[in-house]
Chain A
Amino acid sequence: MSTEVPQSPSRRGFVQSLGTSLGSIAFASMLLADDKANPLVAKPGHLPAKAKNVIFLMMEGGPSHIDTFDPKPELAKQHLKEFTRNGKQKSAMESGARYYVKSPFTFRKHGQSGADMADNWTHLAKVADDLCFFRGCQVDSVNHPTAMYQMNCGNRFGGDPGIGAWVCYGLGSINEDLPGFIVLPEVSYPQGGPANWSNGYLPANFQGTPLRPKGSPILDLTPPEGVSRELQRKNLDLITKLNQLHLAEHPEHEELSARMENYELAFRMQMQVPETLDLSNESAATHEGYGIGNAATDAFGRKCLLARKLIEKGVRFVQLYNGSWDSHDYIERAHGNLVRAVDQPIAALITDLKQRGLLESTLIVWCGEFGRTPDNGVRGGTAYGRDHNPSAMTIWMAGGGCNAGHTIGATDELGMSAVEEVHHVRDFHVTLLRLLGLDDNKLTYYHAGRFKQLSQFGGTVIKELIGET
């Protein structure tokens, strides 16, 4: 075995191991000598793929389908009509005295496809024909973190790999110098925390790497103040010298070389990661298009632009968080502001990807962890908001081979429950994988006594969403 430390490792070496930031492990793994053994190397899926990348827009808190993309005129007739609901199958939130709440938003049909959208989606309306709306999805949980885990990881109770981890496990990285699964969280982490982008039982390489919107994007990427790069290099040289002597004494120990190369990689990453994340070389027009610089849209605009850059660089799966959409009390005000914050940036992202020829190969998903109820509980009086609803929600997709220009499935006349093209979220997951050329039944990993998969127990491709019949 060589005791030489490689001086110029392959390009793939760099950020193969870009780590994670807060509270997380890493995606880089043992730096194995050959690509065959490298879990991050790009590999073909099981089936022909329509999409290569995913941008997953996670509207955490549960956006109301009734007030965004699924108008319910009948609900206006029931407005403020009171009733009660009880039972062991209901949570305290769902029980007791309740009343219906009409949507404060007006709706119109947009594009040639006649997509239903609330009027405050002024920018998104312009790309209505690029969207495929799905009204048939249902989840199991009525509570935020468990529903979030289910939407993000397939399993309600956390600890399983996120979708991005599964996708990277199945397809590897396009650009091996960057993590395959990057998360752009809100300043505050969502309920359930980093377990929402966990690698679960998959190898640590597949963990989502959160790039923090403030402070150092990756924890301890740079040494404390006062430690110069020259000093670091000198320290590193001494580590190498000691390690070489040690390796000579323990030629049988294979991990030692991997650990040594790891230090060199980290040293180079310190320089290169900040460059990758720099938005300043984008034009003023681009900034403006995404709403960067405008107080309402700046935060999400930056995330959307960064998402495009990351996709361009070959990051496989980027997940953006926005929220909280948990509007229990004042839906008009809260949803109004939330839509304003994301409408322009998302429309700009779709348009930008399209112009660059990337929309075809990039699947965009917009969803929350569940939808909202047409009614609200009496909690100290009347307030025009909505509770959690696992039985109905709207998910939309764009690009990536989805059935753009169609609305699939339907909810009942009040929006309480999906009634047409009804599918458990596991089918949606299976469909998402299918667009990427992955077969959920083949994408399995042996853990705790059985082969596990994103859908948990297998599911069905929702053909209508991918334009197949």
Chain B
Amino acid sequence: MNPNWNCVTSGARAFTKVMCLALLVLLPGTFLSSTIMAASDEAELLFVRRIQPLLNEKCLSCHGNDESDVQGGLDLRSLSTVLEGGDQEKPVIVPGRPDDSPIYHAILRNHGVWRPMPPKEADKLDAEQIGWVKHWIAGGAPWPDRERAQSIANANAVTWSAEDGIVVKTTGALSHEWANRRYKPEGLWSYQPVRKPAVQHSSDENPIDALITLRMPKGLNVAPAADARTFIRQAAFDLTGLPPLPDDITEFEKSFAADADEAVRALVDRLLESPHYGERMGQHWLDVTRYADSSGFANDYERGNAWRYRDYVIRAFNSDKPYDQFVKEQIAGDELEPEKSEAIVATGFLRMGPWELTGMEVAKIARQRFLDDVTNSVGETFLAHSLQCARCHDHKFDPIPTHDYYAMQAVFATTQLCEGSAAFLQGENKEGFEERQYLEMIAEEHQATLAKLDAVLLENAQKWFNEKGLDSAQWMAAVEAAKQLDSTKKNNRKDYADLFAAARNSLLKKGVPENEFPPKLVGFTIDQFGAERVARKGYERLKWQLDRYEPFALAVYSGRTVSMKSVLSPIRIPKNRLTEGDLEESCIHVGGDPFSEGPKVKPGVLSVLDPTLQVSIPEGIEGRRLALADWIANKNNPLTTRAIANRIWMWHFGEPIAGNPNNFGSTGKRPTHPELLDWLAATFVEQTWSFKAMHRVIMTSDAYRRSSKHSNVESLKEKDPTGSSFAVFKPRRLSAEELRDAMLFATAELNPMVGGIPNRPEINSEAAMQPRQVMGTFAAAWVPNPKPAQRNRRSIYALKLRGLNDPAMEVFNAPSPDFSCERREASVVTPQVFAMFNSKASHARALAMANRVVNESQRDNAHGDDAHSAQAAIALCFELVLGRPPHAHELKACIEHWREVESTLPDKPTVDNKPPLEVRREAVEENTGERFSFIERLHANADFVPDLQAADVAVHPRALAEVCLVLFNSNEFAYVY
């Protein structure tokens, strides 16, 4: 059946002959010709040095490692099974004759019958590897046993390690071969201790520049320094995500002319003090940690408390919290300072992955999903290692045995999810909590609906008895009993009416036959079926949202694992967390299967790192994460310090030094400037893990201050084809958030308030109303905040639902929280045009800016003529959007456009519709398979105050709005240089 080794040639006799020869070769003590002997010697060495590792890396995952599932029955772990040949019963190696050996044809990948191996194109053997196999087979395909192989390896260790790389000591490898495989030293760069290079630099030279010069391609000149305007725009966006104010630009130009170095230093200091600094850096961090305000998957429940973690991150950057502390708090804040809300809120980091447990999921699998997620996330975020590759097997490329994966995971075996109590801090923004009134209105509606439907059911029940001609006395008594229970509030199982269900359940419990009382949801119409489900599930969903205004945190606690069937509301920390439930015993899950228990493992860390770093992690319930956090935040942990230094660098240059900030393993890109990376990592630690100190060092370097214009583009392309020399500053397209925020900034609509509950800006109205299924019901519509100041906040504060992304953000590459985003993309795709040129939001910004500009320019030119005033208006537009005055021809073109448009615009513009107060939802009802509809009320829309309306603006500024729209759509606006 399995086609992998499907051979149709019929050379059985020929095979037999060769087989005899093969056996002769391999039997010790038989008479062999000296030529074969010599070849065999060489081939034997080749086997130990090359072929065995190749088999391990390329073949055994399908052909032997999993004895229960050997592809094609072909086991490549021993010569005898190779000669048996698996299901085909034909040897796949003919010793001495590579051209007759199926395995050789398979690796050549061009045979008509023998399928290419390894199957995956990306895994194919290179020419050198194919050569090894050929020579080994030609040399008789010797296959020494393990003992002999080991003695050969030992005898040659010195020569080989000089030539082939080194063996890395790790713990608990699944196989001897894996444990002894060799690594090219250059692929192990990230595990080496950080060595701060001794930099040869003059006193006025920034060490960064000396280290960049060290790697500068010969003969390549660097670009000159950027001018003041270009620099301040770049620096302001880099540190705050916002453009500079026109006055700040003028001011900076002056001081830059006087003393450029001093001006740059002062500017950086000023920007670092801005509260928007934390928002900008926070966004970078939240990209990596996958921040979202909802849980994803079937329910996509809102995580009402997630915003407190987001604000924690912003505060941490603004207060320049030392990174080692930042790391420890996010991994183990609750263990570090159990009494401090700040520390508890920080553990929200561990909750950032999508997660839920519904009654339809196997609880153990859901638990394992959390453990896998958190293990990998800690690896990617802090250690630049995607650990999931070691979940099912020892890592294919890196010295991470699967044992280490489960040892790291064991740290979290006592980590439990909770929305735990955490009092609000002084510094937390609690504005806008009154919006809960809208949620309470919906809750009341759902209760009313359920009460009404309960009454319908009770009535239908009566009809049912009448129709069946059955006695309803028993039923009536049950209903009456339920009523009694309800009035004494003993039935606070649910806080809505469900007498019908309660009565049924009591009869069921008593063992009354089901045909003696009415069935579930008796006599419902299609719409009633739907309405019941929508109200019941909708009420359940509100619990998550209402948690937003309460002193709870999206967090974790250390404790035993309590068995759960489903999680339908926020989880509080149980009182007996240390005594009730299972104490999870961690083990290797063979093949990654949570039900396949392998050897037990103790909590631990990555064994590849310098053993002097090793810590002992407690095996009790508490303190495991704290010990792990201490190990990660150890100043000598080279992964931690390099990972963060690399990120900081990328946040300034767009390009990291090591190309995959989440992957320092051998498949990730090597650092282009290893000395620089180590210098940054060491300096970061020396400067007490201070981000702000690093910004100061980096931003005052010549490299950062370089222009994006190079005097010799040809030479640049030729000498630096990969663009990694930092000889020139690379233009960067603004991120989705920067584009939106910069527009709001230019119109003066931006509410600069820092922190607080997530807001709901206006998004495309069709996207806002797009119905989406969640488990058993439909998620609520996106209802914008009623007041402009609430809506027009910085984009980092917008509610982030996994099931509903703001399309305008998404088209500009705002990352999905499904994966950690190590680096933003900046693609050019057509929907960006629709979002920027056609959307209501862009038109609204253009109008607001035009209105602002006309007002300001008229005020400033109260005595000037119209022409003068128009010029001033256009000039201000340029300053606000592009950070520079217009050139003469630009000014002329814009004024002409303004005039022309003004002559064609109607006096009375179309008036925007008021937002709807309700929306009719249509869907297929699960019980009936029929279409039904229901009304969703949009309460906040009743208080909706629109942004500036065209109808409220005179035709003159309305026409200018078209110029503003043009500027927002210009290429220049979208980039910093």
Interface residues of A (CB under 8 A from B): 16-31, 61, 88-93, 141-146, 157-159, 186-195, 198, 201, 203-205, 212, 215-216, 218-227, 230-232, 234-235, 238-239, 241-243, 245-247, 250-253, 255-256, 258-260, 262-263, 265-267, 269-270, 323-330, 333-338, 341, 380-383, 388, 439, 441-442, 444, 446, 448-451, 453, 458, 460-461, 463
Measured between C-beta atoms, what is the minimum distance from A264 to chain B in Å?
9
Given known contacts A20-B831, A29-B827, A30-B827, is B773 in contact with A324 (CB within 8 Å)? yes
Across the A-B interface, the 4 shortest Cβ-Cβ residue pairs = A19-B831, A17-B830, A159-B818, A334-B929
B897: chain A residues within 8 A (beta carbon): 234-235, 238
| Known A259-B828, A328-B927; 7 more pairs at CB < 8 Å | A22-B766, A22-B807, A91-B358, A188-B778, A262-B829, A450-B396, A460-B2
Among B775, B804, B893, B950, the residue within 8 A (CB) of A23 is B804
- B962 engages A235 (CB within 8 Å): yes
Which positions 434-491 of chain B face chain A at CB distance < 8 Å?
A: none
What separation, in Å, do the CA atoms of A63 and B898 have in the docked complex? Answer: 60
- B767 engages A23 (CB within 8 Å): yes
Interface-central residue, B665, B806, B897, by most chain A CB under 10 Å? B897
Measured between C-beta atoms, what is the minimum distance from B244 to chain A in Å?
19
B966: chain A residues within 8 A (beta carbon): 235, 238-239, 242
Binds A, one of B150-158, B182-190, B278-286, B969-977: B969-977
Which positions 768-802 of chain B face chain A at CB distance < 8 Å?
A: 770-775, 778, 802
Count of interface residues, chain B, beta-carbon cutoff 8 Å: 122
**Nearest B residue to A323, CB-CB:** B924
21 CB contacts below 8 A, A to B, read A23-B806, A23-B807, A25-B810, A29-B827, A29-B829, A91-B363, A158-B297, A234-B901, A234-B962, A235-B897, A243-B970, A245-B887, A253-B708, A255-B828, A262-B830, A269-B830, A327-B926, A380-B501, A381-B520, A448-B663, A449-B663
B778: chain A residues within 8 A (beta carbon): 188
**Nearest B residue to A144, CB-CB:** B298
**Nearest B residue to A242, CB-CB:** B970
Given known contacts A19-B829, A449-B386, is B972 in contact with A252 (CB within 8 Å)? no
Measured between C-beta atoms, what is the minimum distance from B903 to chain A in Å?
11
B364: chain A residues within 8 A (beta carbon): 88-89
Given known contacts A189-B773, A245-B887, is B829 in contact with A26 (CB within 8 Å)? yes
Q: Is B930 an interface residue (CB 8 A)?
A: yes
How many contacting A-B pairs (Cβ < 8 A)?
A: 340
User: What mask results when residues 908 to 936 of chain B are scored 1 for a CB within 8 Å of chain A, else 0?
Assistant: 01100000000001111011111000000
- B662 engages A258 (CB within 8 Å): no
- A250 engages B122 (CB within 8 Å): no
Which positions 302-318 of chain B face chain A at CB distance < 8 Å?
A: none
Among B358, B361, B811, B975, the residue within 8 A (CB) of A253 is B975
Among B386, B520, B728, B775, the residue within 8 A (CB) of A380 is B520
User: What mask results when residues 809 to 846 of chain B are scored 1 for a CB within 8 Å of chain A, else 0?
Assistant: 01101001011000001111111111101111001000
- B926 engages A324 (CB within 8 Å): yes
Among A88, A222, A269, A330, the residue within 8 A (CB) of B363 is A88
B599: chain A residues within 8 A (beta carbon): none
Q: Is B803 an interface residue (CB 8 A)?
A: yes
**Nearest B residue to A27, CB-CB:** B829
What separation, in Å, do the CA atoms of A327 and B930 have in the docked complex? Answer: 11
A92: chain B residues within 8 A (beta carbon): 359-360, 363, 565-566
Q: Is B852 an interface residue (CB 8 A)?
A: no
Given known contacts A227-B843, A324-B924, is B972 in contact with A18 (CB within 8 Å)? no
- B121 engages A266 (CB within 8 Å): no
**Nearest A residue to B804, CB-CB:** A23
- A441 engages B119 (CB within 8 Å): yes
Measured between C-beta atoms, what is the minimum distance from A149 to chain B in Å?
9
User: What mask results when residues 106 to 143 of chain B are scored 1 for a CB within 8 Å of chain A, else 0?
Assistant: 00000000001001111100000000000000000000
A323: chain B residues within 8 A (beta carbon): 924
Measured between C-beta atoms, what is the minimum distance from B59 to chain A in Å?
13
- A263 engages B833 (CB within 8 Å): yes
Among A88, A221, A330, A450, the residue within 8 A (CB) of B389 is A450
- B595 engages A89 (CB within 8 Å): yes
Q: Is B20 an interface residue (CB 8 A)?
A: no
Interface-central residue, B504, B710, B975, by most chain A CB under 10 Å? B975
B967: chain A residues within 8 A (beta carbon): 242
What separation, in Å, do the CA atoms of A58 and B802 have in the docked complex? Answer: 22
Which positions 697-752 of chain B face chain A at CB distance < 8 Å?
A: 708-710, 713, 716, 728, 731, 733
Among A141, A219, A335, the residue within 8 A (CB) of B834 is A219
**Nearest A residue to B833, CB-CB:** A266
Interface-central residue, A143, A194, A212, by most chain B CB under 10 Å? A143
B904: chain A residues within 8 A (beta carbon): 230-231
What separation, in Å, do the CA atoms of A204 and B62 have in the docked complex? Answer: 33
Measured between C-beta atoms, what is the minimum distance from A232 to chain B in Å?
8
- B974 engages A259 (CB within 8 Å): yes
**Nearest A residue to B508, CB-CB:** A381
Measured between C-beta atoms, what is the minimum distance from B397 to chain A in Å?
8
Given known contacts A25-B810, A256-B971, is B362 in contact with A220 (CB within 8 Å)? no
Q: Is B378 an interface residue (CB 8 A)?
A: no
- A30 engages B834 (CB within 8 Å): no
Among B805, B806, B837, B929, the residue within 8 A (CB) of A263 is B837
- A142 engages B360 (CB within 8 Å): yes
Q: Is B514 an interface residue (CB 8 A)?
A: yes
Among B731, B773, B807, the residue within 8 A (CB) of A219 is B807
Measured between C-beta atoms, what is the minimum distance from B879 to chain A in Å?
15
What separation, in Å, do the CA atoms of A16 and B772 have in the docked complex? Answer: 28
What separation, in Å, do the CA atoms of A125 and B69 have in the docked complex? Answer: 40
- A226 engages B910 (CB within 8 Å): yes
A238: chain B residues within 8 A (beta carbon): 893-894, 897, 963, 966
**Nearest A residue to B730, CB-CB:** A253
- B121 engages A441 (CB within 8 Å): yes
B962: chain A residues within 8 A (beta carbon): 231, 234-235
What separation, in Å, do the CA atoms of A204 and B807 have in the docked complex? Answer: 14
Q: Is B965 an interface residue (CB 8 A)?
A: yes
Interface-central residue, B358, B802, B804, B833, by most chain A CB under 10 Å? B833
- A212 engages B363 (CB within 8 Å): no
Given known contacts A262-B832, A449-B663, is B971 in contact with A243 (CB within 8 Å)? yes
**Nearest A residue to B769, CB-CB:** A215
Among A88, A212, A253, the residue within 8 A (CB) of B766 is A212
- B764 engages A255 (CB within 8 Å): no
- B764 engages A333 (CB within 8 Å): no
Measured between C-beta atoms, what is the minimum distance from B423 to chain A in Å?
34
Q: Is B33 an interface residue (CB 8 A)?
A: no
- A245 engages B890 (CB within 8 Å): yes
Measured between C-beta atoms, what is the minimum distance from A84 to chain B in Å?
15
User: What mask results when residues 633 to 662 of chain B are scored 1 for a CB within 8 Å of chain A, else 0?
Assistant: 000000000000000000000000000101
What separation, in Å, do the CA atoms of A265 and B834 have in the docked complex? Answer: 11
B358: chain A residues within 8 A (beta carbon): 91, 143
Among B504, B662, B816, the residue within 8 A (CB) of A448 is B662
- A189 engages B971 (CB within 8 Å): no
Q: Is B574 an interface residue (CB 8 A)?
A: no
Measured between C-beta atoms, what is the minimum distance from A33 to chain B in Å?
13
